[in-house]
Amino acid sequence: MHETYEFEKPRIKKDLEPDELLQVILDYAAKIANERHLDNVLSLMADMGKEIVVADRCTVWLLDTQRGELWTKVAHGVSELRIPAGAGLAGHSIATGEPIFIDDAYMNEPYRDILANGALKTDQQTGYRTKAIMAIPFRNNEGEIMGCYQAINKMTESGVFSDHDLRNLSLAASYSGKSIESAMLAEEIEETQKEIIFTMGEIGESRSKETGNHVKRVAEYSYILALALGMSRSDADLLKMASPMHDIGKVAIPDSVLKKPGKLTEEEYEVMKSHAVIGYNLLKNSKRHILKTAAIVAEQHHEKWNGQGYPRGLAGEDIHIFGRITGIADVFDALASDRVYKKAWELDRILNLFKDERGHHFDPAVVDAFMESLPQILEIRDKYTDQLQEAQ
């Protein structure tokens, strides 16, 4: 990269006209939305940022809260660059949530110390001349700051970044946050699977007879319902990965209750009900997105739309949509299967119960989605039967 050794480039470019700007954003948004690899999402975002604000360089920093670091993969010749989370202009802008503008890094007072240890030091090593800098934090869907754009050297005649640049780049970043999250999610899977296996191993093999295909079916039903409700593919995938753990708390329920052939006494039922909170407590401390989602599902899958469920008696939309979906999937599966305490119900009987409970136990929208998706649901039921499980 010869450009690294140029002292200062001529500033001859022009700011984008509104229609050009729109075109750049649309082009990149399409590419970014189709990209599943985080590295590529980051470098597309950096390229987009560079074009939008007519910068010489642009870096996308991401916050890794677990390690307390900022990292980027787009620095020239470096596969992954990591700095402490509070470091540099990027860290400062993320910590305050405010953008930073610097017109000339060599004349700037407020950030003198940061610059001396960052850009100016790097310039000394490379011969590059950093002048204008703009750092803008950006947020994920939950509104939490997840990283920051850092643009260096404005290549137009003015040579400085403007409020316009700030607005345009913020706009572009808001399109990208979701893509970064789903790319992260994809990369997270392998690590998560290991963590799940670890968690499961630690608490011992599940003893409940109904596990096995029960969790598999509940996962598939939940996925179908999520899509039928208009959720995105990535959210549906997330739920599919998380919902198998909805009953993980049952591993802590004594056999005498869990495997009781008949009806539970009131006291035993209270013990049984604790599986929701136990599952939540097992999962809630994980930093991984999938396991955090699993914690919500474990806690909320027995809540009811009318507020009569447990453990918290949440009602309506206070129950996470993932909890409402897994809840109906779980009941369908429980009723459609033999249990130690009951025989499987006929389909019509189940559907009648769902109609009766529409707006009582269950979210009406989720019941409607269930009815619409019935053919796919039954396909799953017939694909993952319990024969092998029961025979063991």
Which residue numbers are catalytic? Answer: 250
Rounded to whole angstroms, the Cα distance separating 344 from 385 reads 12
* Count of Cβ atoms closer than 10 Å to residue 319 Cβ: 24
Q: Of 72 and 208, which has the nearer Cβ to ligand SIN?
A: 72
Q: How many residues bind ligand SIN (CB under 6 A)?
A: 21
Burial code (b: 16+ CB inside 10 Å, e: under 16) for 26-62 equals eebbeebeebeebebbbbbbbbbbbbbbbbbbbbbbb
Question: What's the closest the beta carbon of residue 17 comes to ligand C2E, in angstroms?
Answer: 60
Q: Does 234 bind ligand SIN (CB under 6 A)?
A: yes
Contacted entry of ligand C2E, ligand SIN, Fe ion, none for residue 343, CB cut-off 5 to 8 Å set by kind: none
Which listed residue (32, 60, 88, 241) binds ligand SIN by CB under 6 A? 88
Which listed residue (7, 17, 66, 202) binds ligand SIN by CB under 6 A? 66
Which listed residue (182, 222, 243, 337) binds ligand SIN by CB under 6 A? 182
Q: Does 220 bind Fe ion (CB under 5 A)?
A: no
Query: For residue 61, what are its two tokens?
Result: 């920093």
Which listed residue (247, 299, 303, 386) binds Fe ion by CB under 5 A? 247
Question: What's the closest the beta carbon of residue 272 comes to ligand C2E, in angstroms?
Answer: 4
124-153 binders of ligand SIN (CB under 6 A): 141, 150
Q: Which long-range contacts (CB under 8 A, 24 or more apart) does 40-45 make?
A: 40/183, 41/176, 41/179, 41/180, 41/183, 42/72, 42/73, 42/74, 42/180, 43/73, 43/74, 45/149, 45/172, 45/173, 45/176, 45/180
Question: What's the closest the beta carbon of residue 331 comes to ligand C2E, in angstroms?
Answer: 4
Which region, judged by CB under 5 A, interacts with Fe ion, from 105-113, 187-195, 316-324, 325-333? 325-333
Angle at Cα 316 formed by Cα 311 and Cα 317, nearest 5°?
Answer: 100
Q: Of 41 and 328, which has the nearer Cβ to ligand C2E?
A: 328
Sites of contact with ligand C2E (CB under 6 A): 260, 263-264, 272, 302, 330-331, 334-335, 339-342
Integer angstrom CA distances of residue 55 from 52, 113, 139, 147, 295: 8, 23, 22, 19, 43
* Pairing label, strands 55-64, 69-72: antiparallel
Kindly write down the DSSP assignment for every residue of 231-272, as one continuous string. Answer: --HHHHHHHHHHGGGTTGGGGGS-HHHHT-SSPPPHHHHHHH
Contacted entry of ligand SIN, ligand C2E, Fe ion, none for residue 234, CB cut-off 5 to 8 Å set by kind: ligand SIN
Q: Of 27 and 80, which has the nearer Cβ to ligand SIN?
A: 80
DSSP 15: P
Q: Does 299 bind Fe ion (CB under 5 A)?
A: no
DSSP 7: S
Q: Which residues bind ligand SIN (CB under 6 A)?
A: 64, 66, 71, 83, 87-90, 118-119, 141, 150, 178, 181-182, 184-185, 188, 234-235, 238
Q: Where along the sequence are the contacts to Fe ion (CB under 5 A)?
A: 247, 330
